[in-house]
Amino acid sequence: MTESFRRSGEYENPQGPQGDAYQGAYPQQQHASSPVNPEWPPPPTHQPAQQPSAPEDGTAVLPTVGLDAEHPAEHPAEHGTHSAPKKRTRGPIVLLAAVAIVAAAVGGGTAYAFQELTGKNNVVSSSTTTSVVPSSKKGDVASIAAAVSPSVVEVNATLSNGTSTGSGVVITSDGEIVTNNHVISGAQSVKVSTSDGKSYTAKVVGTDSSKDLALLKLEGASGLHPATLGNSDGVQVGDTVVAIGSPEGLTGTVTSGIVSALNRDVTVSTDEGQQQEQQGGGSGQWPFSFGGQQFNGDTGSSTTTYKAIQTDASLNPGNSGGALIDAGGNIVGINSAMYSASSDSSSSSSDAGSVGLGFAIPINTVKSDLAKLRSGSTS
């Protein structure tokens, strides 16, 4: 795994601008405009004009057709009878406009417009064909970083034997954060720092060790920038991807690469004691295995296996729980594990580094697990 770990008293986690090359470098952006809720007009203050009755001399009075408030009748009824102009009724027209807005939201592949109409703080989701960055900047790493960096946070967990540093992804504006379970496993307290330098206390809402996922909720947070969750089923080998996280506490670090492989069976430990033992072993890497081989240490006897996206984008300790992003700026994975060049427990974490073998949990797996995490499950 790719969270960084140190024992108490070894060193202080660097804070501030010197540890974050990208922090504050990009303006915060909204991913979509907020539609306005339509309001129904009040009922008319008078009854509609009645059709004049036929005169006693038998002359027929023809009804008027196709008139509205902007085009009144040019030839009023004869015999001195004048019909009062009808007030334009706006209810049905506004209803059609409201339906058109909702239809456009669904047809466009994004839940944002519907979210604003209903007033619910739901996860922003889109297909991978939707670009968070301008279409002319698709695949441009600088544009992707500018758009998504405000949605990636640093997660610091205080453990009984030290601290664990990882990353997380903002999924709602009021502070729901997705991260890896192994980043916060056994935590006595959790602090989260956003890209603008603000710090929040976070509580663990739910965990799923079988998928190495956890959901945090920030206390007193509002107005955050939720990431747009894409569709990992549309990811292909060779696609350009960008990773954003906090390796070694360097908040907002951006790296890029491609998707190297899909559906890798990555096996990780689910035993908390084993997790903390490996974290404290000095390698700074989370133990995992695939293809029958162990990496970064022994995963132990209590394990789980999930399908992962493999990438050669550089991942280092502290990237765990961060974002893997497609060329359009959509989140397609949560970074979770990397191969370390040094798996010897006697070596220091500074000897370890990315060698182009990183793994991410597909975002569709995350989306399917959100309801369980929000319910408070701690499996």
Clarify whether 82 is annotated catalytic.
Answer: no
Q: Which residue did the predictor score with more confidence, 376 or 163?
A: 376
pLDDT > 70? residue 126: no
Supply the pLDDT for residue 35. Answer: 43
pLDDT > 60? residue 50: no
Question: What percent of the chain is predicted at pLDDT more than 90?
Answer: 43
Question: How many other C-beta atoms lie within 10 A of the C-beta of residue 76?
Answer: 11
β-pair partners for 358:
311, 338
Report the SS3 class of residue 5. Answer: strand
What is the DSSP code (8-state) at residue 126? B
Supply the pLDDT for residue 47. Answer: 55
Clarify whether 68 is annotated catalytic.
Answer: no
Handedness of CA 166, 273, 352, 333 (dihedral sign): negative
Cβ pair 297, 345 in contact under 8 A: yes
Our measurement of the distance from residue 354's CA atom to the centroid of its chain's CA atoms, rounded to an integer in Å, reads: 25
Which residue intervals of the chain are DSSP H helices? 91-107, 112-118, 141-148, 181-184, 272-279, 363-374
pLDDT > 90? residue 154: yes
Catalytic residue among 20, 164, 182, 336: 182
pLDDT > 60? residue 32: no
Distance (Å, rounded) from C-alpha 276 to C-alpha 5?
A: 9
What phi, psi does 208 have (nearest 5°)? -140, 95
pLDDT > 60? residue 214: yes
pLDDT > 80? residue 81: no
Catalytic residue among 151, 246, 283, 320: 320
Q: How confident is the prediction for the chain on average, in pLDDT?
A: 74
pLDDT > 50? residue 288: yes
H or E stretch at 356: strand 354-362
Model confidence pLDDT, tens digit, residues 190-213: 999 999 999 999 999 999 999 999
Question: How many other C-beta atoms lie within 10 A of the C-beta of residue 91?
Answer: 10
Model confidence pLDDT, tens digit, residues 250-263: 889 999 999 999 99
Report the amino acid identity of residue 149.
Answer: S
Q: Which residue did the predictor score with more confidence, 123 or 190?
A: 190
Q: The tokens 């968070």 sit on which residue?
A: 132
Distance (Å, rounded) from C-alpha 111 to C-alpha 102?
A: 10
Clarify whether 320 is annotated catalytic.
Answer: yes
pLDDT > 90? residue 300: no
Burial tier of 305 (Cβ tally within 10 Å: 0-12, 13-18, 19+): middle
Catalytic residue among 31, 126, 185, 212: 212
Distance (Å, rounded) from C-alpha 156 to C-alpha 171?
A: 18
Pick from 267, 262, 271: nearest CA to 232: 262
Supply the pLDDT for residue 124. Answer: 74
β-pair partners for 154:
167, 193
pLDDT > 80? residue 18: no
Cβ pair 242, 325 in contact under 8 A: yes
pLDDT > 70? residue 16: no
Across 107-134, average pLDDT: 54
Cβ pair 323, 243 in contact under 8 A: yes
Distance (Å, rounded) from C-alpha 93 to C-alpha 40?
A: 10
Q: Which residue did the predictor score with more confidence, 34 or 43?
A: 43
